[in-house]
Each structure stands twice: as C-alpha cells, then as structure tokens.
C-alpha cells in the first residue's frame, strides 16, 4: 500500500466519521492487508483531521470483547483533540450505532516514553505516570458490520475510538491500591429515574489496567512511536459496556479514585 493510498483511506474514514455514515468495507485498493498497513492508515488520521494526538485508547481488553468483534487481542487507537468532551458538554449519539458508554481507568503520562530495544516492565511504565483519572468513552465504528470488519480495518478506523470524558485526577495513593480488584459502580438514568445499574472491576482490562497501559507502551515502541508527556492512555472498559439512549445520564463511582458523569444529548 502506497503512502497516497494510506492517506486516501484515512480521508475516507474521516469523512464518514464527520458525516455519521458507515461503510460495508474499505475499497479493495484502500483496504489494509496487514496490521502494519492498518497502523499506517491510522497514523494518517490526525494529519487529514488537522488535529493533535492527546492520548491513546486500548480496545478489546477482555476476552468477551475480543470475541464480540472477532479479534485476537487488544487494539490501540489515537485519541484526537476533538474527541475530548469539555466539562458539562453532552455527548451526541447521532450516527452512533454502538450506543454504549464505557467506564475506564485512564493514566496521564508525566514524561516521554520513547521507543526502546527491549520491552519496558510494568514498574518502568508506572514510573512515568503522572496521574490516574476515571474516564468514559463513547465508542463507535465506521463499519456497518463492525463485528465482521476484521482486525486490520478496525485498527485503521482508530480502534473504534469515540468521544472521551476524563474525570479529575485520583488522589496520589492510587499507587498503593490493587487496581485489578478495584470495583466501579455505574448508574444509567433518564428523566424518569434510574434505568439500571452495573458493576465492574479493574481486572476486566487485560487483568489489570496497569498491564493494559504497559501493553500500549510496548506496542507503540514496536511501531517506533513515542508516548508523550501529557498524553492520556485509557485502558478499556472495566465492565460490560453500558447501553445508552439519547437523553440518558451516566454516572460512574470509582470509590476512593473519584467519580464522573456524562450526559447523552436528547
């Protein structure tokens, strides 16, 4: 795949994102034949969008999630500047076919992690973390049948990345906690009251959110990419994704780590 084809594929995906429309599949000439080609297309997204990368997401961090979209492991995606919702802003579900909200553990990086010859350990990665933040993602896909799109096309489409809300930083003693066993309680409400509640746990994200973070760091290193100071890494949903409808309000209680809320536009 040529550089021109990679950019053309990214432009096509970005146009569909902006229009809220979907594809059955990328045209044959623009369809990635490998994970490497998929990452090359994804790398063009901030270029064609004219936006900076403010963070990264890890998708399909649970076995159930991987089976649902028919991939063999987690996927990495870029969080662009326009994806981050300001405090108080509602998330729109217009054109969104997944219609779920995912509570996640997100880490803010304190210093650059450049590519290195050997994989970094969990301890090395955590040493570069500035803070932990509760987060929400509202994922979506540019493919009508995202469960059949395949790993390469999903990566090219930014690993189903959608709007994010990052909550305030957790107290510094989060480092002393066992995040794998840390529980999260979510509530989905509408104008008539609570629709349902759901519980989650840190180990849903690759067994431990810190493990998911380390996976992302080493994955970027293998691609020759630097995880930069100030960027976020959101480590995947800690519970079965929350089914939502326009007008819903979502709250997630991360206990001592904090809480956050999100409104879905009516």
- Where in the chain are the domains? 53-263
For range 43-61, the mean pLDDT: 97
pLDDT tens-digit map of 214-238: 999 999 999 999 999 999 999 999 9
What pLDDT was estimated at residue 66? 85
Do residues 259 and 251 touch, judged by C-beta distance below 8 A? Answer: yes
pTM beyond 0.85: the answer is yes
Do residues 76 and 220 touch, judged by C-beta distance below 8 A? Answer: yes
For range 139-145, the mean pLDDT: 95
Report helix, strand or coil for 245. coil
* Helix ranges restricted to H, the chain: 3-19, 35-49, 63-69, 122-127, 151-156, 209-222
Q: Looking up tokens 């519980």, which residue turns up?
A: 199
What pLDDT was estimated at residue 209? 98
Distance between CA atoms of residues 29 and 42, nearest Å = 16
Buried b (16+ CB within 10 A) or exposed e, 26-41: beeebbbeeeebbbbb
For range 58-77, the mean pLDDT: 89
What pLDDT was estimated at residue 167? 97
For range 24-30, the mean pLDDT: 97
Distance between CA atoms of residues 116 and 114, nearest Å = 6
What pLDDT was estimated at residue 68? 79
* Mean of the per-residue pLDDT values of the chain: 96
Percent residues over pLDDT 90 in the chain: 95
Statement: residue 62 has pLDDT above 90? no
Name the band, by pLDDT with cuts 50, 70 and 90, for residue 67: confident
Q: Looking up tokens 């100030």, which residue turns up?
A: 230
Contacts of 26 (CB under 8 A, 6+ apart): 9, 12, 13, 32, 153, 156
Q: How many residues does the chain have?
A: 266
Q: Looking up tokens 């189903």, which residue turns up?
A: 160
What pLDDT was estimated at residue 8? 98
Percent residues over pLDDT 70 in the chain: 100
Distance between CA atoms of residues 143 and 67, nearest Å = 17
> Domain spanning 53-263 has what CATH number?
3.90.850.10
Distance between CA atoms of residues 180 and 143, nearest Å = 32
Distance between CA atoms of residues 111 and 29, nearest Å = 39
Geometric angle at alpha carbon 142, from 141 and 147, rounded to 5°: 55
What pLDDT was estimated at residue 1? 86
- The CA distances from residue 12 to 47, 75, 90, 153, 209, in Å, are 13, 21, 26, 12, 33
């Amino acid at each position: 795949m040529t550089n021109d084809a990679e950019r053309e594929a990214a432009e096509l995906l970005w146009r569909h994102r902006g229009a809220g429309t979907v594809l059955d599949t990328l045209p044959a000439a623009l369809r990635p034949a490998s994970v490497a080609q998929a990452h090359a297309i994804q790398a063009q997204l901030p270029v064609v969008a004219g936006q900076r990368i403010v963070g990264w997401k890890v998708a399909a961090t649970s076995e159930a999630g991987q089976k649902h979209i028919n991939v063999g492991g987690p996927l990495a995606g870029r969080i662009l500047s326009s994806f981050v919702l300001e405090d108080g802003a509602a998330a729109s579900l217009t054109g969104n076919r997944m219609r779920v909200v995912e509570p996640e553990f997100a880490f803010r990086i304190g210093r650059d992690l450049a590519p290195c010859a050997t994989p970094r350990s969990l301890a090395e990665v955590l040493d570069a973390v500035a803070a932990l933040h509760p987060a929400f993602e509202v994922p979506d896909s540019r493919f009508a049948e995202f469960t059949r799109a395949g790993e390469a096309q999903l990566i090219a489409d930014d690993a189903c990345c959608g709007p994010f809300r990052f909550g305030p930083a957790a107290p510094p003693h989060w480092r002393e906690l066992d995040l794998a066993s840390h529980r999260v309680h979510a509530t989905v409400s509408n104008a008539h009251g609570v629709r349902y509640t759901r519980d989650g746990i840190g180990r849903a994200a690759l067994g431990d959110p810190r493990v998911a973070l380390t996976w992302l760091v080493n994955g970027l290193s293998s691609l020759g990419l630097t995880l930069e100071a100030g960027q976020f890494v959101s480590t995947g949903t800690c519970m079965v994704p929350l089914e939502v409808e326009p007008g819903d309000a979502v709250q997630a209680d991360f206990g001592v780590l904090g809480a956050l809320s999100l409104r879905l536009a009516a």
